A and B are shown apart, each in its own frame.
Chain A
Amino acid sequence: MRRLPILALYALPLIFLAVFYLYPLLAILRVGVGGDDFAAQAAAALTSAALWRLLWFTTWQAALSTALTVLAGLPLAFIFARFDFPGKRILHALLTIPFVMPTVVVAAAFMALIGRTGLLNSWLQRWLALAAPPIQLEQTIWLILIVHVFYNVAIIIRTVGGFWGNLNPHLNETAMALGAPPWQVWRTVTLPLLLPSILAASLLVFLFCFTSFGVVLILGGLRFATIEVEIYRQAVSYFNLPLAALLSIVQLALTFSVMIVYTRLQARVSRQLRGRRPARSQRPRNWRQWGLVIGALVVTAVGLLAPLLALAVRSFTLGDQGVTLLYYQALTENPRQSAFFAPPITAITNSLLYALATLAISLPLGVISVYMLAQPRSRTAAVLDPLLLLPLGTSAVTLGFGYIVAMGPLRTSPWLTPIAHALIALPFVVRTLLPARRALDQRLQMAAATLGAGAWQRWWTIDAPLLTRALAISAAFAFAISLGEFGATLLVARPDRPTMPMVIYQALGRPGLLNYGQALAMSTILMVVTALALLAIERFRLPGEEEF
């Protein structure tokens, strides 16, 4: 009977996932399949050219984004893996930026850098005395592709680079001694060994680009739509719930298939890595290598920082007044003087409250899940493990849409937003905590027990202090995810309690310099808050710990 409280505790994550993940998905299925004329509708939809165009665009833009990301990421991964140079730690920390920066912020940042009225265009126009802006990327596929590369290149650098750095250098050297010239060493040894990690990382990138929402919605205008964007439009703008449900089902089927392949590959990659001692990276030895390293350093730093800096600069200098606080002031004013609309600045409070609530939900659930998962040969762990990964393969808009159709009277509850955020954050929390929990030596517990510590005392005096670092990192992750979450929030949050990304999106959609400026100002604030979370992550992270 003494195990009962423990069992009740263990049931919590399962109940949470059942109610706030599986049930909404089932509700979507019901809406999609359950209607009277489902067969006719599905047949009509499946034969419509529009649906196939949508699928085709979603797929090829994701494939092209992935290819470009791999092309950009592999050389950088090599340099990170092989060389040791001043500033490497800082640069590695910068690579966390895309993980945590909200899509709306990044979209706004790229518009501030290379948009029609962006920083680059206004400089080029001034220097070259041009009448029209020379960079015309807005509303083109190129801008979407560039932002996708920005977002995902870090995945390639970190996963492939981490794997590369752990490859035994003796393998290459042995191949050379056996008579293989450099290109043969690459073709017959390095590439085959890297391939699983490249494939796994590419699949993850593909998955993220396939379900890309904020970037396409904001930068694509009306010309481009992924399935994800179309689900949102059908559900919110046209209120065509059956079609939205059908699209969600199609997308879920596709993303889950990719997820399955990804987890298989990932397992293979981590198996290959097990028990390998890290190779020593070395200082560049000659001018050619230094040139390579410095070039990569500059490209990465500029690529990661330039859009964000442009955003900050532009939020103070948009228009012709010179440096101005105009747009920040406008955030504190109530534009319509109506009681229904709060000044945009209150979105900051909303976002922070939601983020704290997200922490309160996701951290305890994460800790409990991790203890379940770490139990050897546990049947619940076998169920929970894939279940916890599923939200990663489920798009945010689908989830938000599921809440709309499933939650009935709860739909208007302010708790729904942090619950959605917690669900999205949970896989990240678990993935960060799990290695730390697995690293806990059971013998410490036994030693403490022989020294007279009871079960709770043991947890509090042994496990808790050893998990602190991982807890801090996962808290920062969950916090940043909640702050930046856009897709689910847009469907779930109440209009009178908007979050920062919602305010930015709305301001971007309204005409006029003042609205655009406010969007930039709010984006800058969100960027700064997120950067603080990022600093916390890097502060606590030990090198070589990340799993993503």
Chain B
Amino acid sequence: MLEVVDIHKRFAPDKPVLQGVSLALAREEILCLLGPSGCGKSTLLRVIAGLESPDRGEVRLRGVVITRLPPHRRGIGLMFQDYALFPHLDVAGNIGYGLRMQGVPAAERRARVDALLALVNLQGYARRTVDELSGGEQQRVALARTLAPNPALLLLDEPVANLDRLLRAELVQELRRILKTLHVTTIFVTHDQEEAFALADRVAVMHAGRIVQVDAPPQLYRRPANTFVAEFLGFRNLLPLLGAPTERQVSTAAGAFVLPEAAPKSLAPSARLLIPPDAAVLDAASPGATYVPFRGRVTATIFRGSLFQVEVTPATAAAACQLSFEFRNRGRQRLPQVGEDILLWLDTSQMLVVNDEEA
């Protein structure tokens, strides 16, 4: 459906923004560009929409090269984070704008606007002015406006970032429902992994103008490709390796572990052992064959509602080392106290050696 091939873009000679980005999208797929601010994800979106022209590389839509096509002839819908609703037009005027540009007759336009208003649950809003709308309503009008001309591809730049947290979760659900109903191929940009996981079929993680990993959300979460992705996804237990791993055995300040698979052959100095926060069980007996015992002293506890988080320093630690684990909060269970020595069971089958990005 969409192919992006080796796109390079720099705004100043010393400021490369995109450094060889390639990407392919299947029909009806929802792809998320995830990355920290300044990683080039919005610029990539603008290149695809035709608002920036790349220094090098090619954009193909349905097999046709559109790299030099002006934005108004691409048929690609684009929705900005700030929605950019036209303040001088009412809701119907905004939604119908793209159809007006196509020369669709007024009556047909009205019917289509009404259908779209129904789709985004805003029946009866046609004559409202843009100022009268709440943030969530503005977002839905912007979405309807972008969908109105039936774009071949939909680009959403941080579609729900401007809304408060409660509304956001709801609208992400709503958005996925609408996109899947209409079978629209979509790329959306976000820096929020929860949003990415909830909405996308596949997630492309960007870093410093490059795509560093493309995977479905579960794979991405279970197997981050490198330390950057792991850190960006919020993993905190990333332990430096002590010496080169021998086959499946790695040793760290928190102890030595035998992993389910062999570590990569060539490891960078910044390679880390990743222990997910949910890989620990607080129990007296071993929960299974892949679990190993781990003794440590509690340095902090944080209550987080359905979860509680415990910070532990390993009893065996030679250097300063702290691990953080999350446990499901089960009613009457006694929580560990700060200063207490505890026994945990760590699941080695969930551990993973993540290599450096450059290696």
Residues of A bordering B, CB below 8 Å: 168, 170-171, 173-182, 184-185, 188-189, 192-193, 272
Q: Within the assembled complex, what's the spacing in Å between the Cα atoms of A188 and B212?
A: 41
Contacts of B75 in A (CB 8 A): 179
Q: Within the assembled complex, what's the spacing in Å between the Cα atoms of A176 and B100?
A: 13
Contacts of B88 in A (CB 8 A): 192-193
A173 interface neighbour in B84, B86, B145, B148, Cβ under 8 Å? B84
Q: Within the assembled complex, what's the spacing in Å between the Cα atoms of A272 and B86?
A: 12
- Most chain A beta carbons < 10 A, residue from B74, B77, B101: B101
Contacting pair B101 A177 (CB below 8 A): no
Contacting pair A170 B80 (CB below 8 A): yes
Contacts of B101 in A (CB 8 A): 175, 178-180, 184
Say whether B149 faces chain A, with CB atoms less than 8 Å apart.
yes
Question: With A176-B51, A178-B149 in contact, do A189 and B72 touch (Cβ < 8 Å)?
Answer: no
13 A-B pairs (CB sep. < 8 Å): A170-B82, A171-B84, A174-B86, A175-B101, A176-B70, A177-B49, A177-B71, A177-B77, A177-B146, A178-B145, A184-B101, A188-B97, A192-B88
Contacts of A176 in B (CB 8 A): 50-51, 70-72
Contacting pair B84 A179 (CB below 8 A): no
Say whether B78 faces chain A, with CB atoms less than 8 Å apart.
yes
Contacts of A170 in B (CB 8 A): 80, 82, 84
Contacting pair A179 B72 (CB below 8 A): yes
Question: With A168-B84, A174-B78 in contact, do A179 and B98 touch (Cβ < 8 Å)?
Answer: yes
Question: With A173-B71, A176-B71, A176-B72 in contact, do A189 and B82 touch (Cβ < 8 Å)?
Answer: no
Say whether B63 faces chain A, with CB atoms less than 8 Å apart.
no
Contacts of A177 in B (CB 8 A): 49-51, 71-72, 74, 76-78, 146
Q: Within the assembled complex, what's the spacing in Å between the Cα atoms of A184 and B98?
A: 11
Annotate B61-95 by CB proximity to A: 1 below 8 A, 0 otherwise.
Answer: 00000000011111111111010101110000000
Contacts of B80 in A (CB 8 A): 170, 173-174
Contacts of B98 in A (CB 8 A): 178-179
CB distance from B63 to the nearest CB of A (A): 21
Say whether B102 faces chain A, with CB atoms less than 8 Å apart.
yes
Contacting pair A174 B84 (CB below 8 A): yes
A181 interface neighbour in B51, B72, B77, Cβ under 8 Å? B72
CB distance from A147 to the nearest CB of B (A): 35
Contacts of B84 in A (CB 8 A): 168, 170-171, 173-174
Interface SS of A by simple majority: helix
Q: Within the assembled complex, what's the spacing in Å between the Cα atoms of A414 and B9?
A: 69
Given A168-B84, A177-B77, A182-B72, 16 more pairs with CB closer than 8 A: A170-B82, A173-B80, A175-B97, A175-B101, A176-B50, A176-B72, A177-B50, A177-B78, A178-B97, A178-B101, A179-B73, A179-B149, A180-B97, A180-B101, A184-B101, A193-B87
The chain A residue sitting closest to B145, CB to CB, is A178
CB distance from B130 to the nearest CB of A (A): 11
Q: Within the assembled complex, what's the spacing in Å between the Cα atoms of A192 and B94?
A: 14
The chain A residue sitting closest to B96, CB to CB, is A178
CB distance from A177 to the nearest CB of B (A): 4
Contacting pair A180 B72 (CB below 8 A): yes
Annotate B268-290 by CB proximity to A: 1 below 8 A, 0 otherwise.
Answer: 00000000000000000000000
The chain A residue sitting closest to B151, CB to CB, is A177
The 3 closest A-B pairs by CB, nearest first: A170-B84, A178-B98, A177-B78
CB distance from B134 to the nearest CB of A (A): 16
Question: With A179-B98, A179-B101, A181-B72 in contact, do A173 and B87 touch (Cβ < 8 Å)?
Answer: no
CB distance from A168 to the nearest CB of B (A): 6
The chain B residue sitting closest to A272, CB to CB, is B87
CB distance from B159 to the nearest CB of A (A): 13
CB distance from B42 to the nearest CB of A (A): 11
Contacts of A171 in B (CB 8 A): 84, 86
Q: Within the assembled complex, what's the spacing in Å between the Cα atoms of A360 and B87?
A: 45
CB distance from A270 to the nearest CB of B (A): 14
Contacts of A173 in B (CB 8 A): 49, 51, 71, 78, 80, 84
Q: Within the assembled complex, what's the spacing in Å between the Cα atoms of A170 and B87?
A: 12
Contacts of A188 in B (CB 8 A): 97, 100
CB distance from B355 to the nearest CB of A (A): 38
Contacts of B74 in A (CB 8 A): 177
Contacts of B71 in A (CB 8 A): 173, 176-177
CB distance from B263 to the nearest CB of A (A): 46
Instruction: Give residues of chain B (291-331) contacting chain A, Cβ–Cβ below 8 Å.
Output: none
Contacts of B76 in A (CB 8 A): 177
Contacts of A179 in B (CB 8 A): 72-73, 75, 98, 101-102, 149
- Most chain B beta carbons < 10 A, residue from A179, A180, A192, A193: A179
Contacts of B77 in A (CB 8 A): 177-178
CB distance from B156 to the nearest CB of A (A): 12
Contacts of A193 in B (CB 8 A): 87-88
